């Protein structure tokens, strides 16, 4: 559990540090900084909504959703085990960190600071009816956390379940052999 708490603190710290940097350098200049043309750009945005600006200005809804999410993720975090369930445990820590990172912005600023942009995704997003988007480290943690949790639930949990079942059968066989 200590590893998970450290991961949460590191991701929230990185998220807040990068948002602070974006706010002070990108917002002040109003410029877009192209890191790799067509791949990665930095540009400051204030997002008072969720992804793609949906539910813009609905602070109370975000507060309620955040509290519910943190309670749920907190419960799942109690089930984490970095020795036997690494992917699951990392995913839950990332989900907590991402949720908390954006919640800090909403509480202090009433909006979330977004500054990362990956232009090569624009045609793909447009093809499925979504607009272009900017994001931050907390959003990235949430996305990676969701993907990792899905991988764990789809592929790894069934393997752990089979191993538990096999272990139970082996213990029962050993008990029967000892009783004979």
Catalytic center residues: 114, 139
With b meaning 16 or more CB within 10 Å and e meaning fewer, what string describes 108-129? Answer: eeebbbbbbbbeeeeeeeeeee
Q: Pull the structure tokens for residue 4.
A: 């998970």
Place of tokens 């990676």: 144
User: Which stretches within 79-156 are classed as H helix?
Assistant: 86-109, 122-127, 137-151
CB 120 within 8 A of CB 39: yes
């Amino acid at each position: 559990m200590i590893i998970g708490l450290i991961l949460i603190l590191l991701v929230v710290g990185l998220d807040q540090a990068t948002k602070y940097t974006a706010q002070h350098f990108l917002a002040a200049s109003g410029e877009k900084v192209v890191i790799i043309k067509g791949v990665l750009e930095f540009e400051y945005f204030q997002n008072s909504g969720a992804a793609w600006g949906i539910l813009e200005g609905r602070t109370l809804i975000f507060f309620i959703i955040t509290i519910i999410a943190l309670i749920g993720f907190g419960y799942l975090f109690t089930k984490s085990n970095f020795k036997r369930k690494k992917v699951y445990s990392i995913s839950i820590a990332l989900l907590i960190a991402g949720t908390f990172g954006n919640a800090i912005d909403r509480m202090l600023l009433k909006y979330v600071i977004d500054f990362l942009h990956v232009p090569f995704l624009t045609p793909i997003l447009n093809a499925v009816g979504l607009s272009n988007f900017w994001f931050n480290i907390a959003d990235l943690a949430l996305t990676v956390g969701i993907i990792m949790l899905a991988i764990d639930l789809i592929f790894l949990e069934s393997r752990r379940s089979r191993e538990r079942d096999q272990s139970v059968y082996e213990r029962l066989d050993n008990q029967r052999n000892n009783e004979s």
